[in-house]
Amino acid sequence: MKITDAKVFVGGPGKNYVTLKILTDQGVYGLGDATLNNRETLPAAYLRDYLIPAIIGMDPRNSEDIWQFLYRGAYFRGGPIAMAAYGAIDMALWDIKGKIAGLPVHQLLGGRSRDGALVYAHAAGSDLEDLADSVAARIEEGYRAVRVQCGIPGMPGAGYAVPGTRGARHYITDFGGLRPSVEYWDSGRYLRYMPGALCELRDRFGPELKILHDVHHRLMPREAAAFARAVEPADLFWLEDPTPAEDQDALRLLRQHSTVPVAIGEVFQSLWQCNRLIKQELIDFIRVAVTYAGGITPVRRIVDLAGMHHVRTGFHGAPSHSPVSMAAQAHLNAWAPNFGIQEYLVLGTAECDALFPSDHRMEGGLFHVSDAPGLGVDFDEALAARYVYAPGSHPVVRLEDGTMWDY
Ligand SMILES: [Mg+2]
């Protein structure tokens, strides 16, 4: 069996999905997702210009060797652009493997460990009342777990992932061009306001709702430790990215002062970036994505390492992930003995479901993975021709005096 060609598509409904389709001499094809938010053309070019020409002629069944060829064969290893491109190839090879075996990918990993995988949705509000309305709407939709982000009184601009006005939706990516908008941050106001807001939500929605909160790397280690201690009465399911991810020792101070569960890793690109945090048991959930952590092959190793250290999975599932990588994660979620939760924001719009048809379904706050062979997602190339790349950017974050801060 041989890889004969591969195509890359960039575009989608309100997103620049980077979709890879690997073709074989036996008519079976595989799909992968290389979407790297706001840098989408780069993994697409890496695939087209360097990787696809190198893998044509290889046997697609040898996914392990092809992953090692891509990773170890490069002198300059890793980085999100390369890992997203490798991730797409790896997903597509598992898709092909499943299709030729007639089995869904989760069966190739070891089968189902659960009926449905718990997911969490996002709720956000410009103020606490607006956020409470958003949480109530998610519960109404059937979600059992919600990430909550709230505007901070007196903080100019919106803060992280919150709409500027009540009742508005917040879109993190602005497709108006490549010059980012500016949001403002004030750790003091955040630290004074947010613990009480989280406790208020817990009081309103009762003990059963799983409440998650994302600090988005914005606190100093001492501040994060104080914040974690202050939010303990809110009984969070997790506290996400309390400090910048580069300084992994920063979490030690938080651990010494709080038992709040910590989730980190959505910007990590390899097992080696996860290794220390997992082995030293400084986190409770590992947040990697199959896209920029290099595909199913390396993420399965991360999941196994995590399992040895009581760390559960909580894969990244921002809207930048296409239904292809969300399916790859769904198969890992169905199998992983140490599954925790899945961030879930992508499926469910008519345009997206038409572009990526599948039998995967969400019901009662649980994601039910399809039993179709491979990843269980298809791709409508004719529909894809409708979409074009739209330049977009995240906001950047500054303090009130103009100092750049962590996004
Ligand atoms: Mg996050």
Report the percent of the chain where pLDDT is more than 70.
Answer: 98
What is the set of active-site residues? 160, 216
Q: What per-residue confidence (pLDDT) applies to 176?
A: 81
Asked if 171 and 307 sit in the same domain, the reply is yes
Quickly state the pLDDT bin for 203 (edges 50, 70, 90).
Answer: very high
Asked if 171 and 249 sit in the same domain, the reply is yes
- Specify if 388 maps to a domain: no
Among the listed residues 155, 28, 176, 39, the one whose alpha carbon sits nearest the alpha carbon of residue 98? 28
Q: What per-residue confidence (pLDDT) applies to 160?
A: 81
Query: Is the pLDDT reported for residue 165 higher than 90?
Result: no
- Specify if 397 maps to a domain: no
> Among residues 82, 104, 126, which one ends one of the domains?
104
Asked if 180 and 296 sit in the same domain, the reply is yes
> Residue 49: exposed, middle, or buried by beta-carbon count in 10 A (0-12, 13-18, 19+)?
exposed
- Specify if 400 maps to a domain: no
Query: Is the pLDDT reported for residue 178 higher than 90?
Result: no
- Specify if 254 maps to a domain: yes
Q: How many angstroms does the Cα of residue 241 sit away from the middle of ligand 1?
A: 7
CA distances from 48 to 92, 103, 146, 383 (A): 15, 29, 38, 21
Q: How many angstroms does the Cα of residue 69 sit away from the middle of ligand 1?
A: 31
CA distances from 178 to 46, 93, 129, 173 (A): 20, 33, 33, 10
Asked if 238 and 126 sit in the same domain, the reply is yes
Q: What per-residue confidence (pLDDT) applies to 170?
A: 67
Asked if 268 and 166 sit in the same domain, the reply is yes
Q: What per-residue confidence (pLDDT) applies to 204?
A: 98
Asked if 333 and 218 sit in the same domain, the reply is yes
Backbone φ and ψ for 240, nearest 5 degrees, come out as -105, 135
Query: Is the pLDDT reported for residue 162 higher than 90?
Result: no
CATH number for the domain including 228?
A: 3.20.20.120
CATH number for the domain including 80?
A: 3.30.390.10
Placement of tokens 């890889």 in the chain = 3
Q: How many angstroms does the Cα of residue 52 sit away from the middle of ligand 1?
A: 31
> Among residues 104, 123, 142, which one ends one of the domains?
104
Q: What per-residue confidence (pLDDT) applies to 348?
A: 66
DSSP state of 164: S
Asked if 34 and 131 sit in the same domain, the reply is no
Among the listed residues 123, 168, 175, the one whose alpha carbon sits nearest the alpha carbon of residue 15? 175
| pLDDT tens digits for range 293-344 | 999 999 999 999 999 999 999 999 998 899 999 999 999 999 999 999 999 9
Q: How many angstroms does the Cα of residue 150 sit away from the middle of ligand 1?
A: 14
Query: Is the pLDDT reported for residue 291 higher than 70?
Result: yes
Q: How many angstroms does the Cα of residue 214 sit away from the middle of ligand 1?
A: 6
Q: How many angstroms does the Cα of residue 216 sit away from the middle of ligand 1?
A: 6
Q: What per-residue confidence (pLDDT) applies to 369?
A: 98
State the distance between the two ends of the chain, measured CA to CA, in whole angstroms. Answer: 45
Asked if 68 and 132 sit in the same domain, the reply is no
Q: What per-residue confidence (pLDDT) applies to 334?
A: 98
Token digits of residue 402: 């103009």
Asked if 188 and 125 sit in the same domain, the reply is yes
Token digits of residue 306: 């995590």
| pLDDT tens digits for range 46-64 | 999 999 999 999 999 999 9
CA distances from 128 to 149, 152, 153, 189, 195 (A): 9, 9, 10, 14, 12
Asked if 216 and 84 sit in the same domain, the reply is no
Asked if 144 and 19 sit in the same domain, the reply is no
Query: How big is the CA angle at 10 (ends 164 and 376), to the nearest 5 degrees?
Result: 95
- Specify if 326 maps to a domain: yes
- Specify if 358 maps to a domain: yes
- Specify if 328 maps to a domain: yes
Report the percent of the chain where pLDDT is more than 90.
Answer: 89
Q: How many angstroms does the Cα of residue 25 sit away from the middle of ligand 1?
A: 41
A 10 A CB-CB count for 303 gives 25
- HEC letters along 6-45: EEEEECCCCCCCEEEEEEECCCCEEEEECCCCCCCHHHHH
State the average pLDDT over residues 201-207.
98
Q: What per-residue confidence (pLDDT) applies to 173?
A: 79
Q: Report yes or no: 161 and 319 within 8 Å, Cβ to Cβ.
A: no
- Specify if 45 maps to a domain: yes
| pLDDT tens digits for range 338-362 | 999 999 986 568 999 999 999 999 9
Q: How many angstroms does the Cα of residue 362 sit away from the middle of ligand 1?
A: 21
Q: How many angstroms does the Cα of residue 393 sit away from the middle of ligand 1?
A: 17
Q: How many angstroms does the Cα of residue 141 sit away from the middle of ligand 1?
A: 22
Beta-carbon neighbours within 5 Å of ion ligand 1: 214
Q: Report yes or no: 16 and 8 within 8 Å, Cβ to Cβ.
A: no
Identify the domain containing residue 301 by its residue range: 109-371
DSSP state of 234: G
- SS3 percent helix, strand, coil of the chain, rounded to 5, is 35, 20, 45
Asked if 175 and 293 sit in the same domain, the reply is yes
Q: Give the chain's domain count.
A: 2
State the Cα–Cα distance between residues 362 and 126, nearest whole angstrom: 28
Q: How many angstroms does the Cα of residue 223 sit away from the middle of ligand 1?
A: 18
